[in-house]
Amino acid sequence: MTKYTPMMQQYLRIKAEVPDAFLFFRLGDFYEMFFEDALKASKELEITLTARGGGPEEKIPMCGVPYHSAAAYIEKLVERGYKVALCEQTEDPKQAKGVVKREIVQMITPGTAVNAIEEKENHFLGAAVECPDGRYSIAYLDLSTGESKAAVVAGEDLLIQEMALIKAKELIFPSTVSDSFIKTFKDRGHTAISKVSAEALNFDESLLENLQGQDIKEGISLLLHYTTDTQKRSLDHLQLTEPYEVSSYLQIDPNSKRNLELTENSRSGAKKGSLVWLLDETVTAMGSRQLKSWVERPLINRSEIYERLSLVESLKHHFFERESLREQLQHVYDLERLAGRVSFGSVSPRDLLQLKRSLQQVPFIKDKLREIPDAGLNKRGEAMDACVDIADLLHASIDEQAPITIKDGNFIKDGYSAELDEYKDASRNGKKWIAELEQKEKALTGIKSLKIGYNRIFGYYIEVTKANLTALDDDRYERRQTLANAERFITPELKEKETLILQAEEKSVELEHRIFQTVRDLVKKEIPRIQKLAKDISEIDVLQAFAYVSEKRHYTKPVFSDHQLLNIHEGRHPVIEKVMDINEYVPNSCVMDESRSMLLITGPNMSGKSTYMRQVALIAVMAQIGCFVPADRAELPVFDRIFTRIGAADDLVSGQSTFMVEMLEAKHALDHATKNSLILFDEIGRGTSTYDGMSLAQAIIEYVHDSIGAKTLFSTHYHELVELSSKLDKLKNVHVAAAEQDGKVIFLHKVKEGPADKSYGIHVAELAELPHTLIQRANELLSEFEAEKHHADEGQLTLFELPEKSNQDDRKILKDIQKINVLEMTPMEAMNELYKLQKKAGKLLAKS
């Protein structure tokens, strides 16, 4: 260290505190970076790399960004998963003895960045700590809104699932976790991960008042410590941590959520084409975030679901009141994030005006809720705190024409402070006096080009061009500055007034800043009230959005069955229906009860099997978030979990094939489904050979039917499986109808009872416009294969039946074959069993 200059020694000491972050080291009007930080930042930010002296090496790598435009550079680094530590000068350079004192004033990380974030999205920071019993204490926090939640989950699988659902921008783990544990999350796309010491945690423990038991506190404690340690500023807007039970909501694993396209479409990951996109007729940013939260965690408590549905029904039936409500909500800004900016001290005069205008709408919102004859809406309206005192304070203090930042001044309203009004009056009248003086001097001297100006160095001055200097014969003019073509003067009269004006302006600016801080602090004390109001408004916004969509798209109110009945009459896929003309969409019914728990769906590709399956699941989700559903009638059970295996995609990152992904997703469903679950399996087994796939598909169907009993939709191209309906009493065959016309296939998109008669695979290829000669050859081959199969099948067993006429020895060997569980045998065991059967068959043949 002694080999470096004092300033570089200071830099190295501070950098040692944040080895995993870029250190933005303040030097004058720039943030500078040195050594490895400079080398890496110059590439990431595409800025010039330079060098400077200051150490034993010839030159120290260096790069920097201007202080006033640093935000854009910081945002770019944070978006790429990096952390940035802001190191500021903490003493006046004029007062410094030696190197100016500097220290880190804030860490900006992917999970704590609050400036450049999506308006309608939460920005979560997540954490997890392993409990002594192998469970995990998890928590997540949105620093921009102050909301946080905590739970305990059983095992690593559920931990991974919850973190995937939360979509945290950054994950925090104790420093003791293994590298393999970290890798598990990095492999799943969590690029920003921080390890934090769990010793000597420092945070506001009053935020944990809602939590019972030590285990649930572990994750949020680590999270709050990390937030407190990195932000180093007021966090008064942080709300009490809300506990939740994963099992208290309809559980949908990340794969199923993606397959159903609940929050984003599966093709591009964009919001458009998802269920949230369809339902998001919210008016406020808070409401949009609340909607997404409800969609990701549907309810399973029947009374809570019915309460939402009842409120939606009332809003749906009162069009004019609802439209007025929507109009009032248009003027409500993001109260949650405004409260956050108040807490951080970064709130601007314009922000406070937005807060005031939002609060001024609340009495009208309350009135509209009172006008609707619904006790639930009336109660919500009565409970809503309009925060009238805060609105009155802001109305009295902040000028309507306030600038964006406080540095521009003139943001406190006239009449709020008598002292400030005096300073403003002196400043305004002084400037008027300056203008009058200019006219007076022009008249006295006869110099029409004479002007009075001001600059920060010389103050006020009278400027006269050199050509007119002879007109100045008065001793009153004292030279102040010489220019190339003019001279600048001051008079005793102007000097006296200058002092008065500048003192008034200086005191005015200083007092205005103090008043603004006082107003901001008064508002800060009321942050919990503002946050409660934000929650109330966001829920009303989502409920009115449900009502708006339900009326516009002709949805109906669902009811819930006490007998596990699922009866959807003329249901529609809500998103596809919106995308296409509503008159073109073919609705389909679905009936499942205690005697009919599994539907085996057959039909050609492109006929609508997957759409049918998805629409059943989406109708269930919509019902359980409290929204009306796209059907003529719908009676549903309350599902506890939804599992889907739809589509095929290799997991290249972890080296898993399509078939392996398929089997893992199937396993997840089989391990966790209950009789109250909904399972969607789309063409299970297609990723392997025909007989392997068909055997697995049958075994899975039998397992779900016999051991789980969940409501299950199972689509397949294995037409042999339709025979299972004769063996499994709760399995029924349905098919998506298609017809041939002039040698062309026509998809009817209508689900009918019974199995499909053929697959129409070559017709689909023809629709895809494969070469005509190829289609002809495929038809020829199909005819040959069918003829061969017919010949081979004569006198042979079907897949599921013994021959009606056979001798005792035949039946015995066939029963032996039926008893074999091929799926649980090793290859060697299978070969041994086959060898035994071959010997038995040989003996029988020898007898005959």
Q: Which helix (H) or strand (E) holds 542?
A: helix 527-552
For 167, the 3-state DSSP assignment is coil
In angstroms, what CA-CA distances link 103 with 12, 25, 34, 37, 743?
Answer: 12, 9, 16, 17, 79
Whether the Cβ atoms of residue 149 and residue 241 lie closer than 8 Å to each other = yes
Is 609 known as a binding-site position? yes
Is 608 known as a binding-site position? yes
Bridge partner residues of 252 (DSSP): 642
Report the distance separating Cα 111 and Cα 173, nearest Å.
13
Q: Which helix (H) or strand (E) holds 296?
A: helix 285-296
Whether the Cβ atoms of residue 171 and residue 127 lie closer than 8 Å to each other = yes
Name the residue among 541, 404, 530, 575 with its Cα closest to residue 120: 541
In 145-255, beta strands by DSSP E: 148-153, 170-174, 193-196, 242-243, 251-252
Whether the Cβ atoms of residue 466 and residue 489 lie closer than 8 Å to each other = no
User: Cα 90 to the chain's mean position, in Å?
Assistant: 37
Report the distance separating Cα 254 and Cα 674, nearest Å.
18
In one-letter notation, the amino acid at residue 812 is K
Whether the Cβ atoms of residue 345 and residue 329 lie closer than 8 Å to each other = no
Bridge partner residues of 600 (DSSP): 714, 733
Report the distance separating Cα 757 and Cα 603, nearest Å.
8
Report the distance separating Cα 693 and Cα 718, nearest Å.
9
In 491-565, beta strands by DSSP E: 559-560
- 180-214 residues labelled b (16+ CB within 10 A) or e (exposed): eeeeebeeeebebbbebeeeebebeeebbeebeee
- Within 10 angstroms of residue 122's Cβ, the number of other Cβ atoms is 21
Is 604 known as a binding-site position? yes
Joined together, the tokens standing for residue 96 give 């410094």
Is 605 known as a binding-site position? yes
Report the distance separating Cα 59 and Cα 212, nearest Å.
57
- The alpha-helical segments, DSSP class H, found in 644-771 are 658-672, 690-703, 761-767
Name the residue among 158, 169, 98, 90 with its Cα closest to residue 130: 158
Whether the Cβ atoms of residue 284 and residue 358 lie closer than 8 Å to each other = no
Total residue count of the chain as it appears in this document: 848
Report the distance separating Cα 365 and Cα 331, nearest Å.
11
Joined together, the tokens standing for residue 691 give 């007989």
Find all residues with CB under 8 Å of 694, minimum gap 6, and list them.
685, 718, 720, 721
In angstroms, what CA-CA distances link 729 with 241, 594, 726?
Answer: 49, 11, 7
Report the distance separating Cα 696 and Cα 823, nearest Å.
8
Whether the Cβ atoms of residue 302 and residue 638 lie closer than 8 Å to each other = yes
Phi and psi at residue 501, to the nearest 5°:
-65, -50
Joined together, the tokens standing for residue 645 give 């295996």
Report the distance separating Cα 324 and Cα 326, nearest Å.
5
Q: Dihedral of the CA atoms 807, 809, 815, 820 (nearest 10)?
A: -150
Q: Which residues carry a binding-site annotation?
A: 603-610
**Residues annotated in a binding site for ATP:** 603-610
